[in-house]
Structure 1
Amino acid sequence: MSPQRLRDDLVKQTKIDVLTADQAKDNEAHMHTVSRSFLTDTITVPTPEMMSYAALSSLGDAVYHEAATDALEKHMARLTGKEAALFLPSGTMSNQIAIRTHLTQPPHSIVCDARTHIHKYEAGGAAFHSQAAVIPIHPANGHHITLEEIIHNADLTSDIHFALTKLIVLENTLNGTIFPQDEILRIAKFAKENDLKLHLDGARIWHVAAELAIPLEELVSPFDSVSICFSKGLGAPIGTCLMGPAAFINKARWLRKLFGGGMRQTGFLSASAAYAVSNNFEKLFHVHELTRRIEKGLIELGAEILSPAETCMVFYDPAPLGLEYAEILERAAKLPDPITLGGSRLVCHIQTSDQAVADFLALISQLKEEKKAEGWVPPEKTHVNGNGVIRDVYVRPKAIH
């Protein structure tokens, strides 16, 4: 076989077409599916308008200089009142680089809520990347950790049996709930007085700003560093920004390279994020309205609300209706126009349709009536908890993240 024939065959082997026969139609169908999914807010997809804007972006190399990415970073620094910002591919990398940047020589420990992303959903990254022990706190109020709980759990002694606490990490929102700003200020004061760093996982801080009508700068001013996502809430395809002092961000940029996050032509990603910030933040007001509509409907039907609709999430228990999550998921998936669910957590996002909300509540109502027709009777209230409050006894599976 001639060298030219070998080259031609090699070229043929490398060719691939990832587009379907009718990709535009398939994309439209997927967008409809997303509009009827309550699984999470990370499933939102870029709109044609976002893609058109991103296609016009700059073409630089972000390891050296990328104009759109630089502009996005500067805007996020201004928006949060911090000296500098760094664009990263994911919230997990942003949090882990922040932790690694703040911490220097182990042994050291981090105090956080037991439910936070850095503790439960980042693959043990604090231990792996920063050799840090994590001290998780289960908040007694079921909503947010308090200064008193941090003081009780943090190790600020010189006892060689313990890892000295050097960092406090808070998350806002956490499971869709808003961390009270006055409590954050109390914790920040304690951190400063005890030479502790304070980091915010603000992946969904956009929701707090929208719900409370408080500027981002005010919300994040108590923190030494803050991570804010573009793909959660705002609907960008990828991306997070980490903000903090200039020296902190310079070190974080170095660690981003070490972590394998030094990206090249990020202009179209940064442009997508910029489009999301400019055009999608205002959509969060409606997102919160939809979430409250679901909560109100579930209460009226008799379901129990496990965590209220403060922003974009509501957690519920269908057991008072004689229902289990599995049967709801199954029936929702078999609707003529299916709905995607994930258990106790319902998440609304900027592409959630009003019709999906109405159809979900109609399904719960229908299932409730079917149970009644089968003769199901709610269990008697038989359990008294430690506070002497009578509650029904239901088995509640874990909420998925």
Structure 2
Amino acid sequence: MYAYAVNATLGDDVYSEPSTTPVIYQPTYHALEAHIAQLTGKEAGLFMPSGTASNQIALRTHLKQPPYTVLCDHRGHIHRYEVGGTPFHSGAAMTTLIPSNGHHLTLSEVEDNVIYDTDVHLAPTEVISLENTLNGTIFPQDEIIAISEFARSHNIKMHLDGARLWHVAIETGLSLKELCDAFDTVSLCFSKGLGAPIGSCLVGPTEFIAKARRFRKLFGGGMRQTGILAASAAYALNYNFPLLVNVHALARKVQKGLEDVGVTILSPAETCMIFYDASSIGATYDEIFERGRKLPEPLILGGSRVVIHIQTSEAAVDDFLTLIRDIAGEKKRAGFVKPETNGQTHFKEVYVRRVSH
């Protein structure tokens, strides 16, 4: 990745124009943007400093003049983890839905909550924003297509927060184009999953991306010599993307290991994440954190979310499972009996990682 970065072009991303640049000297960032656009079946792409910037600039570009509403899952990144950016930057109201199946939104739920009538009390829905993956789970493609067909029949735009869409492509065998066809615009992240140091890419129609480029500058995201960053992302796409097969296998190993010692799984390993309930073996997340950090090779643990990535070793997974197995055994010998549950699941999202040098 360093070698890719060293050999990148150093042109200015704010001033450079791809239409007047000879292909042989095409700036690295333009080459990456064009490549991602081609992979996703869109007309154009725009390199962004972060997934949050990519999502928020996409929404701002879609939205013209208030009043309007954006519809999304109540767990969606654009709603929960982007500092209230949608109402702040775009003046948009949010319609947030809780999926009745606990997994993904359905067409019927979207139909029941989209606003497109003439009642002056209501702000019409202008954008439906979906997320794939969401908490590591895969949004069924047939449901996405059904929602998209409904949205387009009412002239509602479709945006995808596809920060971890790479995982969906690996797990389902669907191409990025197939996964993106149902959406007008898509945001893809290079740092999550693929392991680049920074960056996302927003793809969509040429005219849309030209407007988004101006909003990127307005929002303070117009960077200069981004070739170094784009080259790192290009390396990640070429060499780290295929490694996600192993990531998913390790995630399934974590799930099985936890289940084998009686841990309740709150959300299974569909891709790279597992959510588990520490109380199901009589432990607390704080207790697991303290024990993990005292290991000869420390594990930094917290909350219910375990995230496997391309640098997670099998040894780290084995150490984590051994730790949980030891704690479960101690609790059982101390008289802990696993309580019956009412089917309700609650989890807190915190990263899990190993200290590395």
TM more than 0.5: yes
Q: Match for 1:399 among 346, 349, 355?
A: 349
Which whole-Å CA distance do the structure 1 matches of 2:188 and 2:280 have between them?
37
Whether 1:59 aligns to 2:47 is: no
The equivalences for 1:304-323 within 5 A come to 304-323=264-283
Amino acid corresponding to residue 376 of structure 1 in structure 2: F
Deviation at 1:291, TM superposition (A): 0.3
Whether 1:274 aligns to 2:224 is: no
Whether 1:121 aligns to 2:81 is: yes
Any stretches of 5+ residues in structure 2 without a counterpart? 17-25, 352-357
Whether 1:294 aligns to 2:254 is: yes
The equivalences for 1:134-283 within 5 A come to 134-283=94-243
Which whole-Å CA distance do the structure 2 matches of 1:397 and 1:53 have between them?
39
Deviation at 1:399, TM superposition (A): 2.8
State the Cα deviation string for residues 353-401 of structure 1 (Å, max 9, x = none).
Answer: 100000000000101111122222233x3x6xxxxxx55x89x553347
When the two chains are superposed, the root-mean-square deviation of aligned CA atoms in Å is 1.3
Q: Match for 2:29 among 56, 64, 69?
A: 69
Deviation at 1:56, TM superposition (A): 1.2
Which whole-Å CA distance do the structure 1 matches of 2:42 and 2:208 have between them?
11
The equivalences for 1:303-342 within 5 A come to 303-342=263-302
Which whole-Å CA distance do the structure 2 matches of 1:377 and 1:201 have between them?
41
Which whole-Å CA distance do the structure 1 matches of 2:203 and 2:40 have between them?
8
Aligned residues of 2:47 and 2:200 also touching (Cα < 8 A): yes
Amino acid corresponding to residue 399 of structure 1 in structure 2: E
The equivalences for 1:363-378 within 5 A come to 363-378=323-338
Which whole-Å CA distance do the structure 2 matches of 1:193 and 1:170 have between them?
17
Aligned residues of 2:286 and 2:302 also touching (Cα < 8 A): no
Whether 1:284 aligns to 2:235 is: no
Deviation at 1:156, TM superposition (A): 1.1
State the Cα deviation string for residues 286-342 of structure 1 (Å, max 9, x = none).
Answer: 000000000000111100110010000010112221111111111111111110112
> Per the alignment, in what secondary structure is the counterpart of residue 83 of structure 2?
coil
Amino acid corresponding to residue 51 of structure 1 in structure 2: Y
Q: Match for 1:97 among 45, 54, 57?
A: 57
> Per the alignment, in what secondary structure is the counterpart of residue 288 of structure 1?
helix
Q: Give the aligned partner of residue 26 of structure 1.
A: none
Which whole-Å CA distance do the structure 2 matches of 1:216 and 1:346 have between them?
26
Deviation at 1:154, TM superposition (A): 1.4
Amino acid corresponding to residue 288 of structure 1 in structure 2: H
State the Cα deviation string for residues 206-264 of structure 1 (Å, max 9, x = none).
Answer: 00000111110011001000000000000000000000000000000010010011110
Q: Give the aligned partner of residue 355 of structure 2.
A: none
Amino acid corresponding to residue 41 of structure 2 in structure 1: G
Q: Give the aligned partner of residue 81 of structure 1.
A: 41
Q: Normalized against structure 2, the TM-score is what? A: 0.94
Whether 1:107 aligns to 2:57 is: no
> Per the alignment, in what secondary structure is the counterpart of residue 226 of structure 1?
strand
Which whole-Å CA distance do the structure 1 matches of 2:66 and 2:11 have between them?
38
Q: Normalized against structure 1, the TM-score is what? A: 0.83
Whether 1:355 aligns to 2:315 is: yes
Which whole-Å CA distance do the structure 1 matches of 2:171 and 2:307 have between them?
16
Which whole-Å CA distance do the structure 1 matches of 2:284 and 2:205 have between them?
49
Greater displacement, 149-158 / 229-238: 149-158
Which whole-Å CA distance do the structure 1 matches of 2:121 and 2:190 have between them?
41
Amino acid corresponding to residue 236 of structure 2 in structure 1: A
Amino acid corresponding to residue 282 of structure 2 in structure 1: G
> Per the alignment, in what secondary structure is the counterpart of residue 159 of structure 1?
coil
- Pair 70,205 (structure 1): closer, same or farther in 2 beyond 3 Å: same
Larger Cα-atom Rg: 1
- Pair 83,121 (structure 1): closer, same or farther in 2 beyond 3 Å: same
Which whole-Å CA distance do the structure 2 matches of 1:342 and 1:185 have between them?
36
Q: Percent identity?
A: 58
Which whole-Å CA distance do the structure 1 matches of 2:202 and 2:230 have between them?
14
Which whole-Å CA distance do the structure 2 matches of 1:248 and 1:120 have between them?
25
State the Cα deviation string for residues 100-126 of structure 1 (Å, max 9, x = none).
Answer: 000001000010000000000001111
> Per the alignment, in what secondary structure is the counterpart of residue 274 of structure 2?
strand
Amino acid corresponding to residue 71 of structure 1 in structure 2: A
> Per the alignment, in what secondary structure is the counterpart of residue 71 of structure 2?
strand
Q: Give the aligned partner of residue 354 of structure 2.
A: none
